[in-house]
Amino acid sequence: MRLEWIDDILAVLDNGSLARAAEKRMLTQSAFTRRVRLIESSIGTELFDRRRKPVTLMPGVEALAPELRDISMRLRKIRLKLKMATSQTGVALSFACQHAITTTVSPWIVRALTADPDVSVRVRSSNQEECLRLLLSGEVNFVVMYTLPGVQTPFFERAFDVLTLGGDVLIPVCAPDLADIAQMSQIPGISYPSDVFLGQVFERNISPRLPSGLQIVSKAETALTLAAYEFALGGIGVAWLPRSLVVGALANGSLISLEDQLPTQTLDIKAFRLSEGQSSQSDVTWRNVLSSIALPVHLNGLAKPSNDAVSDVQ
């Protein structure tokens, strides 16, 4: 039984149809259908109920989902350990970040980790949900994500070790030619989907605090903060972006802040790892490197790493 076959089966279970599972697995529907038939042929039995539309898993296969997820996670952990054990470049570490943090914070982490000449680092960038999946499946050693101060994260923290690395703030910004926009009753905005972290932050923590009578009219929606940043530069509307991402644009005047007129939201930057099953090298990295990093992420933004700054955080 191949790992990719297990993931194919779980993709159908999690997404409800072959078409959506194929999209999740980044395959055409015809290619995914052929692979499904290959799985059934190799095992010697039908796994999918084709009498139903959309095609779903047989009830007996669905009942095995917990075991399949456990096997998938174990195989990924073994594969990661084999890679680390045979790495010719020394110790291979892998971590995942939310997209905006990958741009602004991960350079500091990578430079601190690779101060050891025997360490190489792989950085994955994704949304919060995918970052957690990578962590739980053993594909990365730790993840770095935004969280809301004082709000428990939507998973069981007792299963994780947690480090607070710094803080940031989500602020409203726009192009200079929209400087008076906050005085209007309707403001063109750049929004995030409601199923991503920053979209939820806006809906729950920023939108209720907007001035009475003010309406944000979405002109563009994106899950990527870098895309929202470019849209704001292009004058499309107001975007709520991490200050660490826009500090340079604020300094050179290509963007202006509207935080004195519109609400902001502080964010914590935290690192998470599984509390069990850590290698000795991963444990050393966590306790001696990550725990000592003092990221210069604060309400005034994030400066670019310098040689002096890196030596200070090691």
CB atoms within 10 A of CB 6: 17
Confidence of residue 303 (pLDDT cuts 50, 70, 90): very low
- Judge if 145 and 187 occupy the same domain: no
- Asked if residues 166 and 296 have their Cβ atoms less than 8 Å apart, the reply is yes
Residue range 23-43: mean pLDDT, rounded: 82
Tens-digit pLDDT profile for residues 169-214: 999 999 999 988 878 889 999 999 988 899 999 999 999 999 988 8
- Asked if residues 265 and 201 have their Cβ atoms less than 8 Å apart, the reply is yes
- Judge if 130 and 152 occupy the same domain: yes
Residue 146 lies in a domain: yes
* CATH at 185: 3.40.190.290
- Asked if residues 245 and 229 have their Cβ atoms less than 8 Å apart, the reply is yes
- Judge if 239 and 284 occupy the same domain: no
- Judge if 16 and 134 occupy the same domain: no
Structural domain containing residue 145: 88-163+270-313
Residue 69 lies in a domain: no
- Judge if 110 and 122 occupy the same domain: yes
* CATH at 15: 1.10.10.10
- Burial class from Cβ neighbours inside 10 Å (0-12, 13-18, 19+) for residue 97 reads buried
Residue 133 lies in a domain: yes
Residue 81 lies in a domain: no
Tens-digit pLDDT profile for residues 4-16: 888 888 888 888 7
- Judge if 260 and 282 occupy the same domain: no
Distance between CA 71 and CA 4 in Å, rounded?
11
Report CA Rg, the chain. 23
Please report, rounded to a whole number, the percentage of residues in the chain having pLDDT higher than 70.
85
Task: Pick 243 or 13 by higher pLDDT.
Answer: 243
Inter-axis angle of helices 29-43 and 3-15, nearest 10: 120
Query: What confidence score (pLDDT) does residue 180 get?
Result: 85
- Judge if 157 and 290 occupy the same domain: yes
- Judge if 159 and 274 occupy the same domain: yes
- Judge if 155 and 282 occupy the same domain: yes
Q: Is 131 helix (H, G, I), strand (E, B) or coil?
A: helix
- Judge if 175 and 261 occupy the same domain: yes
Nearest 5°: phi and psi at 265?
-145, 120
Residue 68 lies in a domain: no
Q: Is 211 helix (H, G, I), strand (E, B) or coil?
A: coil
Confidence of residue 280 (pLDDT cuts 50, 70, 90): low
Give the H/E segment covering residue 33.
helix 29-43
Token pair in block for residue 93: 């570490």
- Judge if 259 and 242 occupy the same domain: yes
Tens-digit pLDDT profile for residues 76-126: 777 666 665 555 545 678 899 998 888 888 888 888 888 877 788 899 998
Residue 72 lies in a domain: no
Contacts of 284 by beta carbon, 8 Å cutoff, 6+ apart: none
In the chain, the number of structural domains is 3
- Asked if residues 98 and 126 have their Cβ atoms less than 8 Å apart, the reply is yes
- Judge if 155 and 278 occupy the same domain: yes
Confidence of residue 310 (pLDDT cuts 50, 70, 90): very low
pTM of the model as a whole = 0.67
CA 131 to chain centre: 5
Task: Pick 314 or 31 by higher pLDDT.
Answer: 31
